[in-house]
Structure 1
Amino acid sequence: MAGMVYIAHQAPPSIIKGWIEEQDLFQYITEFEKGILEKSEIDVTPTEIMRLKWYVESLWALVWVLGINNNFRIDEPVGDNLIQMIPDVKKKQDFSTLEAQTLTRNYKEIYEQVDLYYRLHWYLVDARLNGKKHNKLDEGTIMERRKALEWVVTPGEEWEKIDLST
């Protein structure tokens, strides 16, 4: 996911693909991501870039799950320090530094966040369907963070098949 965020911010897919392969993570990426990694920098579409930019919200939730990020509030944007929490591709960092920092949160704490994000997502969908707008919460942000949290508590489920119905 970190590699995909780098691509969203103009890293060449070929460089990210090489880094993912070096990390022995290629078997974990989705079909959508494989398609991106096979493209040249100029062939990645604006729609694909936008989709990849949303990954930052999921990544923010995942670094919270791993205990690297303790500032995970629903009404605050992704912190500027996220880049320091993930391996740096330019420096060819691997995941050993990330693994050394992790202290995965307990299931109860994660599940409470899943429940909160489900309820917020439901509330925002309901508000949208009834022509109301919430000024402090963004439905896309809540949905992407929820997706990551749901993925964590749904072992074996593929990323693209996470159920986000409300």
Structure 2
Amino acid sequence: MKTPEQRKQASIAILQEHGVPYIDWLPVIEDASEARVRSAEEIARRAIACLITIQAAFDRYNGEYTPSVADKYQHILARYQLNDALTAEENTIYNGAGGEAEITKMTWKYEAYWTLLWALGIIPELDYPAHTIDCEAACQAVFDHQDFASFMTTVRLRPIEDILDQADLIYRYHWATRDAYLNGREAPAGLDDDVIVERHAALNWLIGVDDDWDNPDTST
């Protein structure tokens, strides 16, 4: 089991490998004893609710969110037993409220959702955050299953140590892209800041740093 400092040094070695800038004095993150270990069921409910809302957001973006389409999503949520699992912003999407900014923000949640799939053991790895996810695979991971119980048969929750490793690493990636932005530079080493922001948010939620899925704290 790594100490927070050992985890930090392992992350820095990865940054060095990819030529990503870093600072030695960026703090360590939580120890395993301080992190919240969320259950597989809690993570799965959040992931599936998020994915279904993303699909509704894309329909709204394309002007295809008709009453019959809205009804379809309500049936899907019911099928997965998730009617009570939605956040305030997810309800905004389903209710036809909010505008372009809220819709666009929801579509980017694909990256946070993908991170939850990784935590559930469905995605084999979180690769270098330089590109967006495979949206088709992201959808198939859930929609190949007819209900929540079927989806849960595919879940193998990762150890909290693995999740903390990724949380520490994304924290340092995010510092690099944020520092570049604040100093008028492009993101270094091919990093995609939009991907990093959502992955950082999901990992902070996974370790209990922030319970606010809609407006998470991703401070660096």
Question: One-letter code of the match for 1:77?
Answer: T
Greater relative contact order, per chain length (Cα 8 Å cut-off, separation 6+): 2
> What stretches of structure 1 move > 4 A for 4+ residues in a row?
none
Higher Rg: 2
Question: One-letter code of the match for 1:16?
Answer: Y
| Residue matched to 1:17 | 74
Higher mean C-alpha displacement, 28-37 vs 147-156: 147-156
Conservation of the 8 A alpha-carbon contact between 1:13 and 1:36 = no
> Which residue, out of 116, 138, 146, partners 1:62?
116
Question: One-letter code of the match for 2:78?
Answer: E
Distance 1:6 1:35 in 2: 14
Conservation of the 8 A alpha-carbon contact between 1:14 and 1:37 = no
| Residue matched to 1:75 | 130
Deviation at 1:155, TM superposition (A): 7.5
1:1-166 counterparts in 2 under 5 A?
1-10=50-59, 12-39=69-96, 45-73=99-127, 74-79=129-134, 80-87=136-143, 93-134=146-187, 136-154=190-208, 157-166=211-220
Deviation at 1:51, TM superposition (A): 1.2
Conservation of the 8 A alpha-carbon contact between 2:112 and 2:201 = yes
| Structure 2 spans left out of the alignment, 5+ residues | 1-49, 60-64
Distance 2:55 2:200 in 1: 21
Higher mean C-alpha displacement, 59-68 vs 4-13: 4-13
* TM-score between the two structures when normalised by the length of structure 2: 0.65
Distance 1:16 1:117 in 2: 33
Deviation at 1:25, TM superposition (A): 1.8
When the two structures are aligned, how many residues end up with a matched partner? 160
Conservation of the 8 A alpha-carbon contact between 1:87 and 1:95 = no
